[in-house]
C-alpha cells in the first residue's frame, strides 16, 4: 500500500515575485467546501518569518492565490511565525489549528530562539481569522488538529507532546484542562520508521470502523514518512489498528532535497469523491499531492492493522 503521487507534482511552488512567499511554500491545509478546494499554506519569504497564505482551486491541482497572507504574526508570542495550518469545518464554522512561534515564551524556551504554542483560530469565510488561544503553553507541543464533530458533547483535539500523540477535550475551544488530556500512542518500540517521533497529519477521517488517522513519524535516520492507524469512534484514545508499514516516504528530488532534506509533511487529507487527497510539503520548500481510494486505505488498516 502506497499513496500515488499526482503527475503534475509539485502543485504549488514559491512565488518569486512575492516578498512573503518567495522562499518556501509548504505544509498546507486543504478543505473541500461547496465544490471548491480551499488551501491554507505556510509560506516564508525575504524575512524567513512564516505566514499563512490562502489559495482556491476547482480541481485541487491548479490554484489561484490570494496576494496577501491571511494570517501573520501579531505580537511576541508569534513574532517568528505562524506555521502548519490544519483547518476543519465544525457545525458550519471553520477552525484553524496552527503553531505560533515567538520570542516571548512561558518558562523555558521550547525551541531555538523561543517558544511554540498550539493555537486555535476561527473564521466564517476562510479569509479573516479570530484567534481563540492556545491548547497549552510552555511546552514542546504542536501537530494539533480538531476532530470534525463533537464527541460525547465535547470538542476533541489531537496534539503532540513530544514524542507522543495526545488527546484533549474542551467545551468551548478556549479552555483545555490538563485533567481532560491523555496520551494515545507514541513512537513504536524497535527500529521501525516511526521509532523516534510521531504526530498527527490532517483532520481524522470518520468511517464506520473508526477514525482513520494519517500520521507522520521518523526513526533513527530522521526521514519523515506517513503511516495510518484506526482510532475507536467513541473513545478515540483507543488505538484499534496500527499497521507496521508506512504508506508514503520521500522519493522525489524535491522531497529528498529542499530547505530541510528528507521531509514529506502533511496537514491535510480531505476525502473527495471517495479519494483521499493527501496534500503535503516536500523538503519544507514546495507542495505536493498524493492520493488513494478511501476504501483501499481502510482495507489496508483492517488487514495489516496488527502488524
Ligand atoms: C516539524 C515541523 C514541520 C516541518 C518538519 C520538518 O517539526 O516544524 O513544520 O515541516 O519539522 O522540518
Domain CATH code at residue 48: 2.115.10.20
Query: Which of 28, 163, 257, 263 best tests ligand 1's pocket when mutated (most atoms within 8 Å of CB)?
Result: 263
Number of domains in the chain: 1
**C-alpha grid cell, residue 71:** 494570517
Q: Is residue 12 a contact partner of residue 287, using CB atoms and an 8 Å limit?
A: yes
Phi, psi of 304, rounded to the nearest 5 degrees? -100, 5
Give distance in angstroms: CA of 208 to centre of ligand 1: 32
Query: Which of 29, 249, 284 best tests ligand 1's pocket when mutated (most atoms within 8 Å of CB)?
Result: 284
Distances (CA, A) of 188 to 38, 127, 191, 214, 307: 34, 39, 8, 15, 12
Q: Which ligand 1 atom sits nearest the alpha carbon of residue 224?
A: 6
Task: Please name the residue whose Cα sits nearest to atom 6 of ligand 1.
Answer: 263
Q: The cell 516571548 sits on which residue?
A: 104
pLDDT in the model for residue 108: 87
Q: Which ligand 1 atom sits nearest the alpha carbon of residue 84?
A: 9
CA dihedral 104→106→107→113, nearest 10 degrees, is: -30
> For the chain, where are the alpha helices, taking DSSP H only?
253-256, 294-304
Q: Which ligand 1 atom sits nearest the alpha carbon of residue 42?
A: 9
Split the chain (307 residues) into runs of 10 and give each run's mean pLDDT. 98 98 98 98 98 98 98 98 98 98 91 94 98 96 98 98 97 98 97 98 98 98 98 98 98 98 98 98 98 98 86
Give distance in angstroms: CA of 153 to centre of ligand 1: 32
Q: SS3 breakdown of the chain: % helix, strand, coil, rounded to 5?
A: 5, 50, 45
Query: Which of 265, 266, 268, 287 best tests ligand 1's pocket when mutated (most atoms within 8 Å of CB)?
Result: 265
Q: The cell 463533537 sits on which residue?
A: 150
For ligand 1, which residues put their CB under 6 angstroms from it?
Answer: 27, 83-84, 260, 263, 265, 281, 284
pLDDT in the model for residue 306: 79
pLDDT in the model for residue 307: 56
**C-alpha grid cell, residue 202:** 490532517
pTM for the whole structure: 0.98
Give distance in angstroms: CA of 234 to centre of ligand 1: 30
Task: Please name the residue whose Cα sits nearest to atom 12 of ligand 1.
Answer: 260
Give the contacts of 50 (CB within 8 A, at least 6 positions apart).
Answer: 42, 43, 44, 80, 81, 82, 83, 101
CA–CA distance, 170 with 157 (Å, rounded to integer)? 8
pLDDT in the model for residue 10: 98
Range of the domain at 84: 4-304
Task: Please name the residue whose Cα sits nearest to atom 1 of ligand 1.
Answer: 265
Residue of 225, 268, 270 whose CA lies nearest to 248: 225
Give distance in angstroms: CA of 2 to centre of ligand 1: 22
Give distance in angstroms: CA of 230 to centre of ligand 1: 24
pLDDT in the model for residue 106: 85
Give distance in angstroms: CA of 173 to centre of ligand 1: 25
Give distance in angstroms: CA of 222 to centre of ligand 1: 11
pLDDT in the model for residue 73: 98
CA–CA distance, 118 with 269 (Å, rounded to integer)? 20
HSE toward the beta carbon, residue 214, CA cutoff 13 A: 31
Amino acid at each position: 500500500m502506497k499513496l500515488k503521487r499526482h503527475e503534475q507534482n509539485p502543485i504549488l511552488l514559491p512565488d518569486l515575485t512575492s516578498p512573503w512567499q518567495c522562499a518556501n511554500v509548504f505544509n498546507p491545509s486543504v478543505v473541500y467546501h461547496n465544490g471548491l478546494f480551499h488551501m491554507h499554506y505556510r509560506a516564508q519569504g525575504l524575512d524567513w518569518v512564516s505566514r499563512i497564505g490562502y489559495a482556491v482551486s476547482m480541481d485541487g491541482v491548479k490554484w489561484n492565490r490570494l496576494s496577501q497572507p491571511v494570517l501573520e504574526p501579531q505580537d511576541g508570542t508569534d513574532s517568528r511565525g505562524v506555521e502548519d495550518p490544519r483547518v476543519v469545518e465544525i457545525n458550519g464554522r471553520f477552525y484553524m489549528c496552527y503553531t505560533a512561534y515567538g520570542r516571548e515564551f512561558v518558562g523555558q524556551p521550547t525551541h531555538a530562539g523561543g517558544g511554540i504554542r498550539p493555537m486555535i483560530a476561527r473564521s466564517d469565510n476562510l479569509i479573516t481569522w479570530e484567534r481563540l488561544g492556545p491548547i497549552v503553553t510552555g511546552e514542546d507541543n504542536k501537530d494539533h488538529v480538531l476532530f470534525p464533530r463533537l464527541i460525547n458533547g465535547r470538542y476533541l483535539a489531537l496534539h503532540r507532546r513530544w514524542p507522543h500523540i495526545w488527546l484533549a477535550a474542551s467545551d468551548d475551544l478556549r479552555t483545555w484542562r490538563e485533567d481532560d488530556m491523555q496520551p494515545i500512542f507514541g513512537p513504536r518500540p524497535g527500529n521501525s520508521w516511526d521509532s523516534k517521533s510521531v504526530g498527527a497529519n490532517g483532520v481524522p477521517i470518520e468511517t464506520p470502523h473508526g477514525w482513520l488517522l494519517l500520521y507522520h513519524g521518523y526513526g533513527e535516520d530522521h526521514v519523515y514518512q506517513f503511516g495510518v492507524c484506526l482510532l475507536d469512534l467513541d473513545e478515540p484514545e483507543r488505538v484499534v489498528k496500527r499497521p507496521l508499514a508506512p504508506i508514503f516516504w520521500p522519493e522525489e528530488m524535491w522531497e529528498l532535497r529542499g530547505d530541510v532534506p528528507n521531509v514529506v509533511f502533511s496537514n491535510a487529507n480531505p476525502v473527495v469523491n471517495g479519494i483521499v487527497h493527501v496534500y503535503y510539503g516536500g523538503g519544507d520548500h514546495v507542495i505536493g499531492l498524493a492520493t488513494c481510494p478511501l476504501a483501499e486505505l481502510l482495507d489496508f488498516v483492517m488487514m495489516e492493522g496488527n502488524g
